[in-house]
Structure 1
Amino acid sequence: MDVVAELRRALGAGRVLTAKEDLIPYSRDASYFEGPLPLAVAIPGTAEEAAEVLRIADEAGIPVVPRGGGTSVTGSSIPVEGGIVLSTRGLGGVRDVRPEDGYAIAGAGTPLGELDELLSRLGFMYPPDPSSSSAATVGGSIATNAGGLRGVSYGNTRCWVMGLRVALPGGRLLWVGGRALKRSAGYDLVSLFVGSEGTLGVITEAILRIAPRPEAVGRAVAYYGEMEAAASAVAELKRRGLPLLTAEFVDGPSLRAIEESFGIRAPEGAEYMLMVDVASTRESLRRHLDEVGAVLSRSSLSVELTADPARIDELTRARRGLYPALLGRRAPGQLVISMDVAVPPSELAAAMEEVRSASRSAGFEVIIAGHVGDGNFHPTIYVYPSAMDRARDLILEVGRIALRHGGSVSAEHGIGLEKRELLAEEAGAWLEAMRSIKAIFDPKGIMNRGKVL
């Protein structure tokens, strides 16, 4: 079979890329991995066309790599042995918004930022908000069960997906879930596809829960000398039932990067910055913000409280801009590797200290930021290519530290190429159950071959 000719017949020549200069960007994503060039990049414009691409690939036994915005930091969206990259960029667009029923329907290729902008005009939001939301897509974020800054109050993507349309190997299209807000009818196939990283099929469309946008938001910024004190303060805020929207932290090296890039200065002795947002009514915001400030001031070096949108935006840009700021500080030839693990919040400070010790032993300075409210943190290191073996060993050790503390090797970035060995350690016996499930949906093993399992 001439696969490229078949793809062009199905999609049209303009939506099948084969020139080397067009293929090179699809051999990379936001991770430190680099794959081979794919045979072709297919850009379907409908779910039916996506299914036809999979039918052609399945018949030929050629692997398919689904790709959204290319923002994966674990290598989920690059090929490992050529094949076809199926780009969902032609499957974008918000199809329907039903505020009265609490859902929106969006194509898989819709950027999260575009969806949020539309919903904001209606007074609603789609809560999952990864830092890459300007480029990350609906389908990609579902495929990795993405999280974000609002995870402490709204959870990961899995909590917000009601239904999915999926193209399967062989060319079938399948709807799972639906528009009902409650459902107790058989197996939860929606959750099966959430976090599957394109190993079962290609998500083409999603029915997503939406939430009212908070009427008023205030922010507390506190500085600490020790992480344990910051984590304990957030635990007290949660115990009091305060309406937290976010609870973020960055460490000392992160603070210095933020200071250089954004001019936000920390007080002397600060090794951690904690940012806590509260969502409230206009009438209650000041009271809630003052209560947060009272708790944080007991153990912090200083506290700033603000409800000024301009100041909140300034601080948000600094937090979301941390990773780009770290990229800007790397030496020529260095890679930046950002890891992702989660532990119970009460274990956060101890797990982080073990990660620092392991990093020093491996010869790396580690920079740590994350979501203190749900125990998710991101150790980041600078690596020269000559030190990649040591870096990979450290990635494994960081995952094992999380497991020893009762956590998970991945909180929101997925498994991809990076963490297959760690997934086997976390999953144990149920890894075989996952392989059996994959064999049902993808008997020839064409979907995102070499990833996850």
Structure 2
Amino acid sequence: MADTPLAQALRTLLGPDRVLDDPAAREAYSRDATPLFKGLPEVIVTPHSTAEVSEVVKFARQSKTPIIARGAGSNLCAATVPLQGGIVLSMMQMKQILEVSRNELLAVVQPGVSTQQLDDAVAKEGLMYVPDPGSKTVSTIGGNVATSAGGLRGLKYGTTKNYILALEAVLGTGEIIRTGGRLVKDVAGYDITRLLIGSEGTLAIFTEITTVLSPRPKASKYGVAYFNNLADASVAVDSIVASGILPATLEFLDNTCIKAVEDFAHLGLDKEAGALLLFGDDGSAESVAKAVTEMADISSSARGVRAVTLAPDVAAAEALLYARRCSLP
């Protein structure tokens, strides 16, 4: 414990259990998943409430101390690297799912809830949290909103910005605001919610998030096509889209990613392929079977195709999705 004047002041403000400044903690919070950037914070603060976040922000403003909010740090845009030192505000202790409403198709959560945790919770109600970033097992909802995360289902369903109804947030002054509401058709006034989404902590720090949920699809199916190179895979993508199919998932990996994923996960991927195209759909069993079969047929007749395989069961489908998630974003 270095017990610097900054750490002392924050311990006085919040209590000793909310403040970390030992060398191991400072090193751990000096990076996120972005490999090229590093900045050593002076102190890490772990608030448990909106009021505590507000107090820390007010303190940072008054003392002119740099402050940066952080979730799981899984982003690849250096959004949570404290390049100017100061305070890292870790939101990971604000991790409650406050409400799940099946009737209103929404959930209210704190920012430290993981994407996987929320989706698992709403699945029990037959619902789905749609945004599906590759890092969903570790990424947080707060981080998703801060970076407007995309995901494997983005082509068909859109990205995080399409699934946020309301925010509670702390401004740079420490003021607590609420934006949006509980209605999808909420069009009165300025759309401050959409302005804050993707702002990466530069405009506000999110402390409560109201998300849109969807009924969980009755069926899903996936397949994989291997190609000699990325150009050939891109032609297949063009053909699939031109056919009128709107896939739930249409993602590719290049040879470097294929080799890295296979060496790590041993999934039986073709390491000699120049590109891998992961395709899939969800919805009714009949529509899914039709769409995925058509995508497989299009891929099979495409230039430079090496092999096309449909996942025969849920386990095989999960393996294909896992291959994509191993490469993150």
How high is the TM-score relative to the length of structure 1? 0.67
Q: How many angstroms apart in 1 are the aligned matches of 2:81 and 2:284?
A: 45
- Asked whether 1:264 is paired with 2:268, we answer yes
The one-letter code matched in structure 2 to 1:317 is Y
Aligned match for 1:43, one of 24, 37, 46: 46
Aligned match for 1:321, one of 318, 326, 329: 326
What is the CA-CA distance between 1:228 and the residue it aligns to?
3.5
Q: How many angstroms apart in 2 are the aligned matches of 1:310 and 1:196?
A: 37
Residue 27 (structure 2) aligns with: 24
Q: Given that residues 134 and 327 in structure 2 are in contact (C-alpha distance below 8 angstroms), is that contact kept between their aligned partners in structure 1? A: no
Q: How many angstroms apart in 2 are the aligned matches of 1:195 and 1:258?
A: 29
Do the aligned partners of residues 170 and 267 (structure 1) sit closer, same or farther apart at CA in structure 2, a change above 3 Å counting?
closer
Percent identity, aligned pairs only? Answer: 34
What is the CA-CA distance between 1:263 and the residue it aligns to?
4.2
The one-letter code matched in structure 1 to 2:228 is G
The one-letter code matched in structure 1 to 2:116 is G
What is the CA-CA distance between 1:243 and the residue it aligns to?
4.8
Q: Given that residues 219 and 282 in structure 2 are in contact (C-alpha distance below 8 angstroms), is that contact kept between their aligned partners in structure 1? A: yes
What is the CA-CA distance between 1:278 and the residue it aligns to?
1.2
Residue 273 (structure 1) aligns with: 276
Do the aligned partners of residues 3 and 260 (structure 1) sit closer, same or farther apart at CA in structure 2, a change above 3 Å counting?
closer
Q: Deviations over 1:54-74 (max 9, x none)?
A: 011111111111011011222
Residue 141 (structure 1) aligns with: 144
What is the CA-CA distance between 1:37 and the residue it aligns to?
2.8
Q: How many angstroms apart in 2 are the aligned matches of 1:310 and 1:43?
A: 38
The one-letter code matched in structure 1 to 2:259 is R
Structure 2 gap segments, 5+ residues each: none
Q: Given that residues 217 and 307 in structure 1 are in contact (C-alpha distance below 8 angstroms), is that contact kept between their aligned partners in structure 2? A: no
Aligned to 1:218, the other structure's residue is in SS state strand
The one-letter code matched in structure 1 to 2:52 is E
The one-letter code matched in structure 1 to 2:110 is G
Aligned to 1:254, the other structure's residue is in SS state helix
Do the aligned partners of residues 183 and 321 (structure 1) sit closer, same or farther apart at CA in structure 2, a change above 3 Å counting?
same
Aligned to 1:91, the other structure's residue is in SS state coil
Q: How many angstroms apart in 1 are the aligned matches of 2:54 and 2:242?
A: 48
The one-letter code matched in structure 2 to 1:308 is D
Aligned match for 2:314, one of 306, 309, 316: 309
Counterparts of 1:189-228 in structure 2, within 5 Å, are: 189-228=192-231
Q: How many angstroms apart in 2 are the aligned matches of 1:23 and 1:159?
A: 35
What is the CA-CA distance between 1:15 and the residue it aligns to?
0.7
Residue 59 (structure 1) aligns with: 62
More helix by share: 1
Q: How many angstroms apart in 2 are the aligned matches of 1:259 and 1:57?
A: 46
The one-letter code matched in structure 1 to 2:311 is T
Q: How many angstroms apart in 1 are the aligned matches of 2:236 and 2:36?
A: 38
- Asked whether 1:184 is paired with 2:187, we answer yes
* C-alpha RMSD of matched pairs (Å): 2.0
Q: How many angstroms apart in 2 are the aligned matches of 1:166 and 1:116?
A: 23
The one-letter code matched in structure 1 to 2:316 is R
Q: How many angstroms apart in 1 are the aligned matches of 2:131 and 2:243?
A: 24
The one-letter code matched in structure 2 to 1:321 is C
Counterparts of 1:17-416 in structure 2, within 5 Å, are: 17-261=20-264, 262-266=266-270, 270-299=273-302, 300-322=305-327
The one-letter code matched in structure 2 to 1:174 is I
The one-letter code matched in structure 2 to 1:50 is V
Q: How many angstroms apart in 1 are the aligned matches of 2:100 and 2:127?
A: 10
Do the aligned partners of residues 16 and 316 (structure 1) sit closer, same or farther apart at CA in structure 2, a change above 3 Å counting?
same
Q: How many angstroms apart in 1 are the aligned matches of 2:224 and 2:56?
A: 50
Q: Deviations over 1:111-157 (max 9, x none)?
A: 11111111122222212122222221111111111111111112221
Q: How many angstroms apart in 2 are the aligned matches of 1:311 and 1:239?
A: 28
Number of equivalences: 322
Aligned to 2:93, the other structure's residue is in SS state helix
Do the aligned partners of residues 86 and 255 (structure 1) sit closer, same or farther apart at CA in structure 2, a change above 3 Å counting?
closer
Q: Deviations over 1:406-427 (max 9, x none)?
A: xxxxxxx7xxxxxxxxxxxxxx
Aligned to 1:128, the other structure's residue is in SS state coil
The one-letter code matched in structure 2 to 1:311 is A
The one-letter code matched in structure 2 to 1:264 is G
Q: Given that residues 3 and 57 in structure 1 are in contact (C-alpha distance below 8 angstroms), is that contact kept between their aligned partners in structure 2? A: no
Aligned match for 2:11, one of 8, 11, 14: 8
Q: Given that residues 106 and 210 in structure 2 are in contact (C-alpha distance below 8 angstroms), is that contact kept between their aligned partners in structure 1? A: yes
Residue 405 (structure 1) aligns with: none
Aligned to 2:108, the other structure's residue is in SS state strand
The one-letter code matched in structure 1 to 2:148 is N
How high is the TM-score relative to the length of structure 2? 0.91
Q: How many angstroms apart in 2 are the aligned matches of 1:286 and 1:82?
A: 53
Moved more, 174-183 or 118-127: 118-127
Q: Deviations over 1:201-236 (max 9, x none)?
A: 211111111122221111121122243343233333
Structure 1 gap segments, 5+ residues each: 324-412, 414-453
The one-letter code matched in structure 1 to 2:114 is P
